Amino acid sequence: MTHAARRMFELLEPICLVTFLADECNEELAALGHRTYWDGYFASRAAPLGRVPAQVVHAAFYNFAEGEAARHIPSAWETIPPEASVAARERGSAASLRRILGDELAGSPGLVRAADLTTKAATHAPTEGRVMYAGMRSLPVPSDPVARLWHSATMLREHRGDGHIAALVGARIGGTEAHVLDALAQGIHPPESFGRLHHLPKERLAAVMDGLRERGLVDSDGRFTDTGRETKRRVEALTDELAAPPYDALSPAELDELVAELEPLTATLVAAGSR
């Protein structure tokens, strides 16, 4: 099932990415009154947790630098109810999928079946220790197939993300450090130029890189050491292992069917860059 979890991540991630890359979601959130992209992002993604303080959002999201959540939470909820932001995120994401997939794929029996099987997997995993996933599980599952596919794929994304955080904590890799390792795994050098890092204060980035060097995870040139590469491999392998339980709800035949139904949908989204 570890292999299946990795394959499902590859197939479902392009569905989830429309939320962050396509225009419709941001337009829906802006129409509510969110001033910036990040106001809408934090308000809509954190909303299933309830009106928790910024410290809780920072802990649950894990990979944002200290103080970033506090710039948006709770101020993004003061005039816009969290429930409205969640609904806007769903509307915009579903609209993006419909536009990118086109009428034929968006209205196909294959998409309906993919939505049904994805929802079956997404609603049958344990919630213990899965804060973001549990929050998503508390929301109603949409009846519209396109929205249901996005919603359930996003539930599985948050489930995987919770497991990934557990793997990082176990490996003593902080959120900013994780971005450095991701950048190196993608062949980005220097890693400080990575989009999730370059805006951070230079002193903060220098301290992170020094810490990784002291632990022997990167070398003096800021590249992977063998130990660093193996640490990253172990984190990803454990992430796949922890992401597998939802798919136990599907029979082998159902899992094969789900992969087959998702493949043409995902190929279309990948070709469009999920935009």
Residue 128 burial by CB count (10 A; 0-12/13-18/19+): exposed, middle or buried?
A: exposed
pTM for the full model? 0.96
- pLDDT tens digits for 13-65? 999 999 999 999 999 999 999 999 999 999 999 999 999 999 999 999 999 99
Spatial distance between the Cα atoms of 115 and 39, rounded to a whole number of angstroms = 29
218: which strand partners?
Answer: 224
Distance of alpha carbon 161 from alpha carbon 227, whole angstroms: 24
Report the pLDDT averaged over residues 232-254: 97
The 8-class DSSP code of residue 65 comes to: P
Report the C-alpha gap between 240 and 237 in whole angstroms.
Answer: 5
What pLDDT, on a 0 to 100 scale, did the predictor assign at position 1? 62
pLDDT digit string, tens, across residues 208-227? 999 999 999 999 999 999 99
pLDDT tens column, 109-126: 999 999 999 999 999 999
Residues in the chain: 275
Among candidate residues 27, 13, 136, 40, the one with its CA nearest the CA of residue 92: 27
User: Is residue 140 over pLDDT 70?
Assistant: yes
Q: Residue 102's CB: how many other CB atoms inside 10 A?
A: 11
pLDDT attached to residue 2 = 74
